[in-house]
């Protein structure tokens, strides 16, 4: 499903070069739930951004769904992200000026899906995370756990093959974090959605199929 070969990422400024990722090789199978752990600044988010096509590696190759993604132009990348990937972020990234349902509909807008169809799909997604009754609310009226559940609904509304979660429980207490993790596990189990999750939480990571650790940009066992 996801194949990374010799991925390196170097951030360059005029005076300094920082090696964020060093020769990462990774393979994630369809329906697999992978967690990435490591200390802050070790390159976890950079790796997730590269998998999520939000950033380009300095060298190496990425294949997602058997497609050589690095050959894609900006427009094709956007389309690929929209159709194949779903994102969940630590800080939720909900648009505060949009209602819950409008936030969930967002990926579908870039697929040019009609308004009524979008609404139907968004309601279904919200129902699956138990927030259908909150669809008219605004993010500011929700708790942290509810916000993250909205973000999950937004990530799954387009039925992507892969979900990339960047510390989805990082801003939540253990109870809410547990609820969010349960939803992700359910998604993985019932829909065979491939999930790549960055986390600091060892307990959460242990619930996934596979765990990789990063240290100073390198993969460690």
Partner 1 sequence: MIKHLLTLIWNRKKRSVLLIIELSLAFLILFSVFGFVLYNMDNYKTPLGFDTENIWMASLRMNSDPDSAERVETKALLLQSLRQIPEISEVSYSNPVSPFSGSTWQTSTIDNGFEMDVELAAADLNNDKTLGLNVVEGRWFNKEDKSAKYRPIVINKKMRMAYWPDSTAIGRIIKLNGESKIVGVIDNYKYHGEFSEEKNVVISLFAEHSDQNPTLIIRLKDGFDPTIEQDINRIIQQTTKGWKFSIENLESKRKFLNVDYWIPMVVLGSISGFLIFNVALGLFGVLVYNIKKRRGEIGLRRALGANPKSISNQFIFEILFLTSISILIALFFAIQFPIMGFFDVDTSLYIRAMFYSALVIYSLVLICTIYPSIQAARVHPATALHEE
- Give the footprint of partner 1 on residues 140-169 (CB under 8 A): 154
Tokens found for residue 13: 């400024």
Say whether residue 203 binds partner 1 (CB under 8 A): no
- Give the footprint of partner 1 on residues 76-115 (CB under 8 A): 78-79, 81-83, 87, 89, 91, 93, 95, 97-99, 102, 105-107, 109-112, 115
Based on CB atoms, which residue is closest to partner 1, 97 or 182? 97
Strands 218-220 and 194-198: unpaired
Say whether residue 119 binds partner 1 (CB under 8 A): no
**Cα Rg of the chain, angstroms:** 17
Q: How far is the CB of 90 from partner 1 (least distance, A)?
A: 10
Based on CB atoms, which residue is closest to partner 1, 195 or 207? 195
143 vs 150: CA distance, rounded Å:
11
Q: How many CB atoms lie within 10 A of CB 206?
A: 9
Residue 53: left (phi > 0), alpha (psi -120 to 50), or beta?
left
> In degrees rounded to 5, what are phi and psi of residue 137?
-75, 165
Please give the residue ranges that form the binding site for partner 1 (CB under 8 A).
Answer: 45-46, 49, 52, 54-55, 74-75, 78-79, 81-83, 87, 89, 91, 93, 95, 97-99, 102, 105-107, 109-112, 115, 154
């Amino acid at each position: 499903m996801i194949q990374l070969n010799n991925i390196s990422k170097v951030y360059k400024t005029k005076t300094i070069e920082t090696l964020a990722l060093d020769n990462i090789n990774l393979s994630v199978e369809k329906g697999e739930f992978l967690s990435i752990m490591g200390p802050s600044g070790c390159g976890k988010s950079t790796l997730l951004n590269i998998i999520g096509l939000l950033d380009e590696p300095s060298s190496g190759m990425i294949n997602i769904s058997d497609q050589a993604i690095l050959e894609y132009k900006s427009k094709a990348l956007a389309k690929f992200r929209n159709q194949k990937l779903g994102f969940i972020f630590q800080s939720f990234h909900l648009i505060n000026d949009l209602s819950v349902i409008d936030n969930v509909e967002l990926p579908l807008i870039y697929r040019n899906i009609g308004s009524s169809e979008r609404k139907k799909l968004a309601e279904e997604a919200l129902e699956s995370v138990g927030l259908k009754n909150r669809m008219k609310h605004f993010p500011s009226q929700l708790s942290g756990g509810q916000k993250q559940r909205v973000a999950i609904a937004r990530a799954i509304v387009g039925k992507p093959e892969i979900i990339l979660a960047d510390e989805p429980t990082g801003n939540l207490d253990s109870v809410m974090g547990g609820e969010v993790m349960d939803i992700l596990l359910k998604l993985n189990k019932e829909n065979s959605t491939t999930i790549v999750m960055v986390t600091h939480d060892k307990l959460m990571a242990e619930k996934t199929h596979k765990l990789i650790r990063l240290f100073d940009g390198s993969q460690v066992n």
